[in-house]
Structure 1
């Protein structure tokens, strides 16, 4: 994700010609990143239920994500007023965290619904959903003018599939889970502070590039 955004920043500063909107490589990279994010959301919900996380703790976490999503919207509006982010990855994660939670008790239903959401999001389109009031749901006939667009259809499906996958891995005591318990501290720290890392990495990258360009002759 950081490498993807760094590449985007290189284009932003005119240092590279990269076609994020049409190149299959970059489109595939974005799809892989978003799918991983939402899939891990579903897996995390399974772990949260098994750990006995309370409703208050869940809502606090969701509110934090929603606040960060709002901050991204405001910051992107200041930087890109005609294409600011009004429903990006954090917005989708906040909603998916609420919608997918009940499915943690029903992993098979989560898998079936997740597959249905993905297929519907990829196949169904209608002009009625092109308006911003409904575009966050999905089903648009074209991508809206925004720097990041992660509608519920099909991406909620990735979270639901993540719920099913997480439940299967936990029930079977999947070996890599034991490995993760012994992972390097830096990797563990990044995992435990993923939201903070997400929020600060772009300002750091953009600031570093701007500073480097100022120092160039």
Structure 2
């Protein structure tokens, strides 16, 4: 998932608060996916596509992940992370995205993940890293990115209907300018989510310049566990669903014996 402080040179300080925030998002994500898996296997009747209880949680979890990714990028830039090191981490994320697509195709061939959170991050990290020097303008472009999808939906409903099929198709729906959500298990388009990552970068730059002590304060005991987990976010993200689903499948198999 987001670039973690473990990706920085060992001589640079680790900001445990960012790791803890990321770790908390991972714990929340795990609980969310466990509930999703219960519904998928018919053990709990829930509608994760339209029920606000679940759709709002998903939005909050993805937002926290991407905001942390922006924070991490601000730290990486401030501490002089090289483009070579950035490219290596980017290849890991892009490779993880490919694995997610292949695994989801095996499980859900009709609704496999072709532009989920890792796919979106692979694109957005490049944009955010390239625009790191924009300073306070990051707040404004982030706000604009958040506004673009509803503006596109309004345009499609008021005079630009002919364009909607083009942007709803897989070739362009990764942009997020759609009039209907595509049928896929995970969908994190560039817009509006790039705005969240831009805000994370802007917030990180502001904190590092004005309040660096906020990021360096000792963590309360309750957050120390999530901070450790947050250092291994990509590996955890790739492994947690196979473990959860495999455990539930084993449980169902044993229950039938």
- Shorter-chain TM band: over 0.9
Contact 1:107 1:163 in 2 (8 A): no
Runs of 4+ in 1 over 3 A off after TM superposition: 180-186
What does residue 207 of structure 1 align with? 246
Distance 1:162 1:78 in 2: 34
Distance 2:54 2:225 in 1: 27
Matched, 1:153 2:171: no
Correspondence 1:1-217 to 2 at 5 A: 1-125=29-153, 126=156, 127=164, 128-171=166-209, 172-180=211-219, 186-216=225-255
Structure 2 residue ranges without an equivalent (≥5): 1-28, 157-163
CA positional deviation for 1:25: 1.4
| RMSD over aligned Cα atoms | 1.7
CA positional deviation for 1:19: 1.4
Distance 2:219 2:122 in 1: 25
1:117-137 superposed Cα distances (whole Å, 9 cap, x missing partner): 001123313412011000001
Instruction: Compute the TM-score of the two structures, normalised by the length of structure 2.
Output: 0.80
Contact 2:152 2:177 in 1 (8 A): yes
Instruction: Compute the TM-score of the two structures, normalised by the length of structure 1.
Output: 0.94
Structure 1 residue ranges without an equivalent (≥5): none
CA positional deviation for 1:182: 8.2
CA positional deviation for 1:181: 9.9
- The count of aligned residue pairs is 217
Contact 1:83 1:147 in 2 (8 A): yes
Which deviates the most, 136-145 or 207-216?
Answer: 207-216
Distance 1:9 1:104 in 2: 38
Helix, strand or coil: the match of 1:179? Answer: coil
Distance 2:190 2:91 in 1: 18
Contact 2:207 2:215 in 1 (8 A): no
Distance 1:57 1:189 in 2: 22
